[in-house]
Amino acid sequence: MKKLLAVLLACAMVLTLAGCGGSEEKSDFDPIAEFGSDTLYVFNWGEYIGENTIENFEKKYNVTVKYNTFDSNEEMYTALLGGDVYDIIVPSDYMVERLIKEEMIQPLDLEALTNIGNIADGLKSPSYDPDHTYSIPYFQGSVGIAYDTTKVTREELEAEGWNILLNEKYKGQIFVYDADRDNFLPALKALGYSANTTNDDEINAAYNWLLKQAETMEPSYGTDEINDEMINGNYALAIVYSGAAAYIMSENEDIEYYEPFQGTNVWSDAMCIPSNAKSPKLALAWINFNLEKDVAIDNSTYVGYTSGHQEALEELSQGEFAGISAYTPRVGYELDETYKDDNNLKAKLAELWVKVKAAK
């Protein structure tokens, strides 16, 4: 018993020491005087920040960052409702819209954000928060088709767009992304409807489109396993996020990325400060810090998603991600849309999607 305890305590002590190892000399900066706080609570997606960003911020401002991660917008939303207090959160577009509606995030002091001019061109006026009153973009991307150039030609894709996913030539060779709303996106767009439609006839038409796909195309449904499958050349066509496509393309030269002419979903994740934040001033400093070019480059290089920072985006598309078209998503295309916050639509689509999968 004692021995076991000793072993366990020894483990704990080693870890404690390891935990303390990172404390190097700090700057003379006095965060209390400047920001009224020296601890920042950040709530971000998993694996969604550069390797050194947190340490660099801590050193620069002589503060401690407490960093938590989440896996979905809904998970983050529930945590906020449950009373968790954070200074920075990074919700996606439609969730920003909901948080604004419910007054759960606070207006930003844009004067304090000296780097605000660096926001990427495509994100200068996002539909969910046109003036950046509440949110500053962090990463962005689109949904598109990753295709294997040894099996599919660009001409075919440009001729058919999303409808290539109904082309029986590729029966058994397509991979459909199984995430809410993204699964209905190809159908709605192929039929010329809005991805935010509330019209039941349009939704039903899209449902029938997907049923046809399920019955005739032998599609595979799934999520991130597609990365390896595409790299290994196991499918001809796959619906993917641009960030995932960029990774696939860097591993397999035969893969290209195409955003259909019927339009697609463009998304962005943005930094916000919750209404109940304890250190809003320090949170502003964090946002401004992430709008610095070097920091944005660090973040984007590590994460592999498209930066919300214009210069970082330009530099990386010439450097780290040169030749990888998926890194620079289409900007300002009229038919591209951002999802609107709509729980009814979401529930309806989820219900129909179950039936689609059952029909396969």
Q: How far is the CB of 268 from other proteins (least distance, A)?
A: 16
Out of 30, 131, 215, 251, the only residue in the binding site for other proteins (CB under 8 A) is 251
Q: Which of 84, 218, 315, 342 binds other proteins (CB under 8 A)?
A: 84
| Nearer residue to other proteins within complex by CB, 105 or 187 | 105
- 55 touches other proteins (CB under 8 A): yes
Q: Is 267 in the site for other proteins (CB under 8 A)?
A: no
Kind and range of the H or E element at 306?
strand 306-307
- 253 binds other proteins, rule: CB under 8 A: no
| Total of residues contacting other proteins (CB under 8 A) | 45
Q: Tell me if residue 59 falls in helix, strand or coil.
A: helix
Query: Residue 151 burial (CB < 10 Å; 0-12/13-18/19+)?
Result: middle
Closest CB 112 distance from other proteins, rounded Å: 23
CA distances from 40 to 26, 45, 58, 62, 90 (A): 16, 16, 9, 11, 14
Q: How far is CA 223 from CA 177, 180, 226, 257, in A?
A: 5, 11, 6, 17
- String marking each residue 20-49 x if it binds other proteins according to CB under 8 A: --x------------------x-x-xxxx-
Stretch that binds other proteins, among 6-14, 23-31, 155-163, 284-292 (CB under 8 A): 6-14
Distance CA 200, CA 203 (A): 5
H-assigned helices in 104-257: 154-160, 185-190, 200-216, 226-231, 242-251
Residues of this chain, 86-105, that bind other proteins according to CB under 8 A: 86
Say whether 205 sits in a helix, a strand or coil: helix
Asked if 227 touches other proteins (CB under 8 A), the answer is: yes
Site string for other proteins, 284-323 (x = CB under 8 A): -------------------x--------------------
Contact in structure between 168 and 213 (CB atoms under 8 Å): no
